[in-house]
Structure 1
Amino acid sequence: MSDIEISADDPELPTSVEEATRSDGVGTHQGRASPTFQPDTPSGMEVESKVEPAHTQTVALVQTTLATYIQSDGPRPSAQVPVETTASHESEEIVPATLDSQQEFTMGRPHVGGEVGDEDLPIQAAHFLSSFDGCEVAVEGNGQCAMLAFYASISNNSTRTLKNTAATTTQASEVKRGVYALMMANLRHDVELGLIDPVAVYHEHYPDHPFYDSKEAATSALFTHYAQERDRPTNVRVPSSFWAGPNELRAMAQYLRDPFIVLDVNRSGDAQVQRYTYKMHWLTNGDDHESGCYEALSGRQARDYLHACWNLHVLPYFMIRNVSERHFYGVMHGERFVRWRAEGDPGYAAKVSDSYEWKQAVNYLAPEEDTDPDSLNKLADLNNVNAVLIKRITMRERLNVVHARLGLPTLDAIGYDDEADLEETIAYEERTLHEALGIDQYASGSQTSHDGMSMEVPLPKRYPRASTGEMVEHAYFRLLRAPEGEEIDPDDFAQYRLVTAANMEAFQRWCSLFRPRLQIPSTKRRSNPRHIAAWLLGNIDALRHLFAFLPYPELEAKQWTLADLTKWGWIEVYREQTDAIWRITQDEAIRQDVRDYALNGTMQSARDRSRPVMHWPATANVGPDFDEL
């Protein structure tokens, strides 16, 4: 197998994290030669509710564990199952029991295009859901179907229709309140990052209102709209201009602390798949800002992602959007929803009803199969590895393994449980938006600028890493330890694509943000730091600034030529030694003759004078005073 040089010029390597995750195969290693480390050159059935509903209690502002909604009790005996008589439910199918873990993945096989322009054939939504026992849940068409469908999915609603009970309205409204709280907290920074165009979005909600002339006014008005929607119960009809769109769905993923899948289904049942997640963004003041994001997946990418989830018994949350109806549906998974969460989670399994026949053995492994998960290479998609992971780590941890295997960012699972803190953040954001408009003449413009920059351009805060966690760190260390010219392990290739894309994204961001201050030369879209290595080595402060900004500086340094690294090392040594000389001249504790020699030595050049001080002939006998340096 031939060596492949690591270079961002490689057309198969992405230049951003989004591009890395959009590429065919979702960043997987698919039949191509493994790249090698070479330094670069400068070029269902109605079932009794499984938990006690919170009829009158208010759940947390932002529900992160969703324990209030997750069902864990067993199904009622068949004699007690109510018989539905509504005509619209007569054709409902019974939710099938959990499939045996050895049963094959049943998603339809996509057509693999072989010629240019030959695309994958569309995949039916039923194929995407069948392996996960997914069944559509109808919700009321009152303009808030997205929020109702979201609630139906995350609660694994027990019937094929979400009933409009008082308890349902209370709980769904609390979920909606949490989602809009995040939208309000994120709005100002989302606008700053260009994730939201407040002028366009506000006009979509209020088409009869003239376009705002200023972004600040539109942002403040949009914030007020979000505040109104946050307090509106889910059983109230709203106009079509208030229907949920991508911004609401992005916030749902951030609220959920899990990715979720939206299937856009046409009249033929064909599905286009969107995956909603969240990520960290770098603000110009150096702070990190988390916000939701989404990407459209090809049929092949969607199949690869869901197949990887199925292999590790990871059950994504789904929603369905019927394009022709312009209506959202939730998705229920019946018993599978409970079983897969019980696997690898003894605490949750203990709460599951004893009526489930599989409860006692849900986490059993034969002695010859049982292994400490930490001793395994979790990135290896092998049956024996997957069997241990399914039984020994929680589904949320297994999700991290899925993302790591596919080269997708792992997601922070820590939620926003501090209601008081979030309310304070919302109040602060409201004041800040008002100040930007000059509503408070005493406060407006009175805030000290914290853009993290000055005339001296201090070192920036590091760009957020695309993925974190012990498993990801181990893969990164393996990449760093790989000898020059050695092929990357196929299990680590997806992580290599991800970290390389993150560095490229950060470099492009660095160029756009700091070009005026640092006088960075012009670069192209696929340029990388090695393309301007000569300029960087001549501007060492900019070089230090860049490596302080890159999320994976060690990997970037690994790809530089030995000659450039050696030159950089000489420059750093020279700077350190000349700084040491200056400190000697300023230190009154040093003998005057040594200080004079350091200041007025007769050596030929500054480089000679900056050699290690023990080599200076005039200091050979200076005694203990100098030895203490």
Structure 2
Amino acid sequence: MAAATAALYTHYTQERTRTVNSPIPSDFWAGPEVLRAMAQYLREPIFVLDVNQHNDAHVQRYYYSDYTLPIGDVHETGCGGAMDDTTAKTMLGHYARLHVMPVFLVLKRHEGHFYGVNHGEIATKWQAEGDLAFTQENCVNHSWYPDVVAHIEYSQGLLAQVDFLNDDETTNTIIIGAMERRARLDVVHDRLNLGRMDRDPYDIAILDGVLKAEADKLHALAGTGGGSAHPTGTIVAPDGDSARRNPISAQGKVARSTLERILDAINADPELVSDRAKLRHLKEENLSAIKVWLRRGHTQPRQPQFHGGTDDFLPLMTWLVMHRTALHDLLQFVPYPELIAKFLPREMLLRWGDLELYDLQIATMRQLVNHEEVPIPAKEYCRSWVAACTTEDGSTRDRQLAKDPQRWLRLRGLYTAAPMCSCPPGVTEDCWRVLHTLPHVVWAWSVTPWGTYPRTQLGSIYQVHPAVQQAC
């Protein structure tokens, strides 16, 4: 649980810096939990018009309220969901009569997309009513400006004489002119016997000040340390630009369900004839992308020739497994890296995973040698260990020394914060090797909850995430 919580926190940290126009897989599109969080941030409800392909709409409402934990602490939490049509009509009628324009989103499920709603002039006018400062600062050039100012001045002296719960035209007119929009929203809730929602805004600067400390606590509980001995950032191409995926042709596009069936097929032989045809198209997309990648200067002496045929694929991959910087760059360029791994012989896939693990272990030891906080005995131990397991350029003997679990336990005894890069109990050697290829072959890895996790924690990720277990 601690590792899963730390992974989720790491994912949220990543999402705080993601731009709104960044493409992400549909699995990670906004859901109800995101809408509830948006309501908390806005400090008022959000209404979603759920529209189907026949243009029929139903209403969802998302808001927040205080929840008392068993230990007595009060916690604000997001709430909400679908409303029946009668309740929605009644509620929105109350909003309209007090000139409270709620925040609306339109969800078109058949398009897989949310749309914002621009209410135009009426939203500006309703915002101005009851708020003299806003009106004078922002609305002087509107034709209705003098009427709104006069309405505010007229209503201010009458507000104390009305009962807010009376839903009649006279009362509503005075409330509209004398109370700001957010205060009128509270009156709507009073009339509907709903709890008022706290309107104090969040101070994001305060959050920024404590996030680092909270992250350190979560990683300490999970035993992850919060650091990375092998960063998972973008691999940089030789020209200095991040590798971009090759464009996909019209025939190379595939639905997620189809791709899943292809990847799950035994011996890469899908049952459906249509899937077999699609598989041929996807393989052609990858082979074409490899040719483009090679033409961009990714060739070296003694590198096997590749003319675009399937017979050229395995010799090239055999060479790339031994030149993993180039392999990583290629996998960031082809449109379907998962299929690259799918069609590798098992022996080659396991060898590749073993070498990825070896690279990670050597990088971890070298980082510990250069880390200021690591005790000198631990540094000397790592220095001699690296020297012992790099004598034969990653040979079988070198890899056996690098992954020796007893040596990793001894390192942990010398430095308690040291990562554990040996195979965890309960994980097979083959699965452990395949696991270390996943960050390179899973297209969506970087946007998963474990995407920015240190790769030294792949064992913890495997143990708490069934999706990762299934992928292995």
Q: TM-score range by the shorter chain?
A: 0.3 to 0.5
Using the size of structure 1 for normalisation, the TM-score is 0.34
Q: Looking at both structures, which has the greater relative contact order when contacts are Cα pairs under 8 Å and sequence separation is at least 6?
A: 1
Looking at secondary structure, tell me which structure has more helix per residue. 2
